[in-house]
Amino acid sequence: MNIYFSGLGGVGIGPLVEIARDAGHMIMGSDLEESPLTQQLREQYVLVTIGQDGSFLRECHQITPIDWFVYTSALPDDHAELLLAGELGIRTSKRDEFLAYILQEKDLKLIAVAGTHGKTTTTGMLVWLMKHIGIPVSYSVGSTLAFGPSGKFDPESEYFIYECDEYDRNFLNFKPHLSLITSIDYDHPDTYPTEAEYTQAFRQFIDQSAHTILWRIDADYIKTNADHAWVIDETISLPLAGEHNRRNATLVTKVVDYLDIAKTEDVVISLGEFPGTGRRFEKIGDNLYSDYGHHPKEIAATLQLAREVSDHVVLVYQPHQNRRQARIKDMYYNQFELADETYWLPTYLTREDPDEPILSPEALITHLTNKETVHVAEMDNDLWQAIQQARSEGKLVLCMGAGTIDNWVREKMMTSGS
């Protein structure tokens, strides 16, 4: 088939592009801006354009008719490419429908990794482990990997490992052979207006799964009837920094036990060598790390990991989405105590309610127990100088957020040569 991906540089669509190509389909697509993935795909002779006014889609369709238009959930209903695809009579769908087609076409058993926090790392760990113990695997991970592409189809594989996101109710479109639930905390109020709707979605996901592995605390929280679930209580001892990493790895070991595919000692050795995934406590320079976390529990967990690596940690934090901040502002309490200093940036705005007032950094830090160590800051040269000073003093600088903070700090690294 000829498949056009709209938003092919993003973490949701990007891995599917690589999977579709591996599966023998002709690929082309667009995005609004360049990214490492768009550049990588172009180097691999995929037709990629930057800009989404519809002209490239029309041109491609005239040369070789497009069979399927796959688009990201971020596309609005009035998006130029989406409207044009409809006018041209091209089949259109979001990523879940296309992935379901691949699973059925290739007769793959789905191992889905779901949860509020830890999905990317846990999915990456499971893919890493499968590769290490010599089991062919197909997969999709919502981040870059140091040990392979973000998405892959292996014709020898029996299983497909998928980072199964709850946003836009994506995960409810699947009936997994096996599901892992990493953690559950109410999130995505733009998709789930109430906490009850959020927990109900996870109960439904578990009901749709042939088998599920999850933590006792999460099973109790959502009040699931876990008759066909393996509920676990204790973290096993593993040679990994960070309590949340050890918890995620514990889930992975249970998958191996359930599938009966490797010896415990081989699993422990392999997980101890896990190199991590992009933007999950990713080292991008001396004493400088980037992390995607943007929820109070993620911040606390990542700071705990950072303190296992260094006795002195400086945090640069960019909150994500104003409507999320309105819901979690009272949860900002003692999560920042492991940081010597915190530089708090304005909230990155996306998918906002235009009638909701924008919360300032000052409003968000009101209840912090260590407010005296927090500096309201901007992404400017003053902040970069503070980061460089902390690094020169041997402190670990952790830049956290799901918005523009990662690109900004990487660009500063390139321009400063450090």
pLDDT of residue 144: 87
- Residue that is written with structure tokens 């708090």 in the block: 344
41: tokens are 């795909």
Domain boundaries, the chain: 2-94, 108-272, 282-416
Give strand pairing partners of 27. 3
- Residue that is written with structure tokens 């830090």 in the block: 365
List per-residue pLDDT tens for the chain, 418 residues long.
Answer: 999 999 998 888 999 999 999 999 999 999 998 887 888 888 888 899 999 999 999 999 999 999 999 999 888 899 999 999 999 999 999 999 999 999 999 999 999 999 999 999 999 999 999 999 999 999 999 998 989 999 999 999 999 999 999 999 999 999 999 999 999 999 998 899 999 999 999 999 999 999 999 999 999 999 997 777 999 999 998 989 999 999 999 999 999 999 999 988 889 999 999 999 988 999 999 999 999 999 999 999 999 999 999 999 999 999 999 999 999 999 999 999 999 999 999 999 998 999 999 999 999 999 999 999 999 999 999 999 999 999 999 999 999 999 999 999 999 999 988 7
Which fold does the domain 2-94 belong to in CATH? Answer: Rossmann fold (3.40.50)
Say whether pTM exceeds 0.95: no
Asked whether 12 and 73 are in contact (CB, 8 A), the reply is yes
CA angle 136, 138, 139 (to 5 degrees): 135
How long, in residues, is the chain?
418
The CATH H-level superfamily of 282-416 is Mur ligase, C-terminal domain (3.90.190.20)
Give the span between the Cα atoms of 235 and 250, in whole angstroms: 6
Asked whether 196 and 186 are in contact (CB, 8 A), the reply is no
Long-range contacts made by residues 257-263, C-beta under 8 angstroms, separation at least 24? 258/178, 258/211, 258/213, 258/230, 259/178, 261/133, 261/135, 262/129, 262/133, 262/135
Tell me which of 3.30.70.100, 3.40.1190.10, 3.30.360.10, 3.40.605.10 is the CATH number of domain 108-272: 3.40.1190.10
87: tokens are 């006018």
Give the span between the Cα atoms of 66 and 56, in whole angstroms: 12
